[in-house]
Amino acid sequence: MAKLTILEFPDPRLRIKAVPVEVVDDKIRSLVSDLLETMYEAPGIGLAATQVDVHQRVLVLDISEDKTAPLALINPEILSLDGIEVTEEGCLSVPGVYEKIERAEHITVRALDLDGKSMEMEAHGLLAVCIQHECDHLDGKLFVDYLSELKRQRIRKRLEKSRRLDVAESLKAPAI
Ligand code: GNR
Ligand code: NI
């Protein structure tokens, strides 16, 4: 397993639309294992391949409290969306930003599992929100896209400033 680097807004690579996986082979299974390691380490409850600069339709999730329920969805398709739910969302690619976002409360999803077998599942609440958030990533979409242009610009400026400060700090600190 390997921990991968997570791209951050407004990196243009987060806007690339991921292509479907053709064969679920050991390379895909190894990507899933790297995504899970990266997600747990972050820590986060979901991660899409797009966020680690791999533009294939693969995502992982684990909304359990004790991190014991990893789930991988390959070529996910949302078949139905019902109801409305507002959740305070965050994103590992938009660090430190939390905003209320409206999504469907109940969804059904079809995807391939790690054996390449097609499966369907229903999701409610946080799991449903998280699947919608990760599917958006695979289409090059971020949760900040649901906010106003003004809010998005402010978030971009804030992140760019905090990254400049990080670089300045790293230049001051003695090398280890
Ligand atoms: O860790 C995450 N938490 C979260 C909380 C509310 C709604 C969505 C998410 S997903 C996010 C991890 C992430 O950025 N996945 O792409
Ligand atoms: Ni995200």
Q: What is the mean pLDDT of residues 145-169?
A: 95
Catalytic residues: 134
Position 176 pLDDT exceeds 70: no
Query: Could you tell me the two tokens for 78?
Result: 């949302």
Residues, CB within 5 angstroms of ligand 2 (ion): 91
End-to-end CA distance of the chain: 25
| pTM score of the predicted model | 0.96
Position 5 pLDDT exceeds 80: yes
Residue 93 near residue 6 (C-beta atoms within 8 A): yes
Residue type, position 92, single letter: L
Output the residue whose Cα is nearest ligand 1's atom 6.
89
Q: What is the mean pLDDT of residues 33-39?
A: 98
Output the residue whose Cα is nearest ligand 1's atom 16.
47
Atom of ligand 1 nearest to the CA of 48: 16
What's the pLDDT at 66?
94
